[in-house]
Amino acid sequence: MNDSFLTIEKDVEDEIFKESGSKFINYAFQVKTENDVKKKLDYLYEKWPDATHHCYAYILGIDKKEFRANDDGEPSGTAGLPIYNQILSSELTNILIVSVRYYGGTKLGVSGLVKAYKYGAQLVLENSKIVTKYVTKNLILEFNYDQQGIVERNIDRVKGEIIQKEFTANCLFTVEVRNSLIEEFKQQFSEMYQLKITELDD
């Protein structure tokens, strides 16, 4: 099972260049859902409310089947598509690239626009660190206090990440585990009869 994908390590903001008087302000954002995309676009509309265009493209999901390219009023195929193609050629997902344009009075023409928006996407990608990430699932482990040491060692063994600890009558750990390692993860605890594992829904 292929559960790995390439994406950017962190957001890249305010990469600026000028072309024939127009100013292009370029961004790359980490996103997981369309709602994440909307929040980032709203942030930029608020930051640059008087910009001429907010052109963008995004790809989501390990299968990369969720995507969109938006020209935002530029001639069809001159803005969103060049940005999208740069994401595609870098084999990335869970990423949104936005190029905010302030028109400078000189028309760039179709080829000039394609070149400018392509360059804007290249600029933010060149300034991004590309990392491998994995599709994961969260599990809750409930166990006795005296089991904590072995539980933590087993979590480390499959590179699980403890994202929350609660200490009440029992210990409750919320653990993020790579999808392809979940069965191996559970097997480590199969003989610990007083330990309960619950998978959280996505």
Q: Rounded to whole angstroms, how far apart are CA atoms 60 and 66?
A: 5
| Kind of pairing between the strands at 22-30 and 4-8 | unpaired
| List of residues 6+ apart from 35 with CB closer than 8 A | none
- pLDDT of residue 18 exceeding 80, the answer is yes
Q: What is the mean pLDDT of the chain?
A: 94
Q: H/E/C letters for each residue in the chain?
A: CCCEEEEECCCEEEEEEEECCEEEEEEEEECCCHHHHHHHHHHHHHHCCCCCEEEEEEEECCCCCEEEEECCCCCCCCCHHHHHHHHHHCCECCEEEEEEEECCCCCCHHHHHHHHHHHHHHHHHHCCCEEEEECEEEEEEEECHHHHHHHHHHHHHCCCEEEEEEECCCEEEEEEEEHHHHHHHHHHCCCCCCCEEEECCC
**pLDDT digit string, tens, across residues 124-169:** 999 999 999 988 899 999 999 999 999 999 999 888 999 999 999 9
Q: What is the pLDDT of residue 192?
A: 84
Q: Counting beta carbons within 10 angstroms of the beta carbon of residue 193, is it exposed (0 to 12), middle (13 to 18) or buried (19 or more)?
A: exposed
Convert the pLDDT of each residue in 74-89 to its tens digit: 999 999 999 999 999 9
Q: What is the mean pLDDT of residues 52-62?
A: 97
Query: Is residue 1 predicted with pLDDT exceeding 80?
Result: no
pLDDT at 32 over 60: yes
For the chain, list the domains and their CATH numbers: 4-132 (3.30.230.30), 135-199 (3.30.70.240)
